[in-house]
Amino acid sequence: MNNDLYVGHTVAALTPQRTLRDLYINPLLRILDQQNPITDFHPRLDQPRQGVFDTDPSQSLVLLIDFKTDGQEAWDHVSAQLSPLRENGYLTYFNGTDLIPGPITIVGTGNTPFNRVIANTTYRDIFFDAPLDKLADSDDPLRSDRLTPVQNTVAYRSPENVGQGLSGLSDADIRADTFDWTNSYFASVSFKKTIGRPWGFRLTELQVKKIRAQIRAAHRRGLKVRYWGVPAWPRSLRNHLWSILVREGVDLLNVDDLKSATRQDWRPKISDWWS
């Protein structure tokens, strides 16, 4: 209705009140307008705009939008809904040469169409969630294939949506320099898919080397690394994995237990084995 975009992991979770505009765009606009007032004391808008965090107004807030339906069809609707943030100068964007930081950085994941992300070479304010497992090259000790050089442009080959980091791409379209800071922000992948199961409640040396290779490959391209689907139980295993990921330089931890994550005391405890 009214070109609204509904938010939910399943169709059963959708309601008329759960829209991208109501849950995210409008609340962010209210906060940012309060952070960037025009008053007798402050008659001009700051450049760049103040962000949502009082203690660190230069810190950009990342809004990760997961395209659940057809990315090609949804792209224009998502871009249109971002217009108020765009028109008020609140979005991070690439201008063809430099990355201009803003209070909000938009990242598309799921079925986000990469060909639409890169269609405009002089202005981009929706960035890609690149497939981390496709970035590591010769540094990856477990990678048996090699990226095949292709033409510099990445064309949309198929209407098929194939999930995070791959929508609109085939393997033949991906080369070592396809994803970088000009078109992407995150590089992410399922931990279970790319690293595998931690045997004996610990990662093997080979698994740690694979994590290291992927993080290095992403950082060389100016991308921030995150793994999703990291095992959460038992807590001793989860804490072991968090410690290794942080040590190796992962940029974001995907966590459900915020209290334990922020405490950062991940030393083994006897109770971790049954709770």
What average pLDDT is seen over the chain? 86
Q: What average pLDDT does the segment 219-239 reach? A: 92
Cβ atoms of residues 160 and 221 within 8 Å: no
The answer, yes or no, to whether residue 148 has pLDDT greater than 50, is: no
Q: What is the mean pLDDT of residues 207-227?
A: 96
For residue 65, pLDDT beyond 50: yes
Q: Which of 27-41, 56-70, 90-104, 151-165 has the lowest mean pLDDT?
A: 151-165
pLDDT tens, 191-209? 999 999 888 888 999 999 9
Pick the residue with more confidence: 39 or 55? Answer: 55
Average pLDDT in the 75-101 region?
97
Mean pLDDT to the nearest integer, 114-136 = 94
Identify the pLDDT of residue 266: 77
The reported pLDDT for the residue numbered 125 is 98
pLDDT beyond 60 at 146 = no
In this predicted model, what pLDDT tens digit does every residue of 10-19 receive, in sequence order?
888 888 889 9
What pLDDT score does 269 carry? Answer: 65
Residue owning tokens 């050089």: 149
- What is the pTM assigned to this prediction? 0.86
Q: Read off the pLDDT band of 270 (50, 70, 90).
A: low
Percentage of residues in the chain with pLDDT exceeding 90? 60
Axis crossing angle, helix 205-220 with helix 235-248, rounded to the nearest 10: 40
Cis peptide before 113, with omega less than 30 degrees from 0? no
Share above pLDDT 70 across residues of the chain, in percent, rounded to a whole number? 87
Where does the pLDDT of residue 144 fall: very low under 50, low under 70, confident under 90, or very high at 90 and above?
very low
Q: Identify which of 9-13, 84-88, 176-180, 267-271 has the greatest average pLDDT.
A: 84-88
pLDDT-wise least confident of 5-19, 50-64, 78-92, 152-166: 152-166
Domains of the chain, residue spans: 11-229
pLDDT at 169 over 80: no
- Is it the case that residue 145 has pLDDT exceeding 50? no
Closest CA relative to residue 105, chosen from 155, 59, 168: 59
Count Cβ neighbours within 10 Å for each residue of 153-180 and write b for 16 or more, e otherwise: ebebeeeebeebbbbbbeeebbebebbb
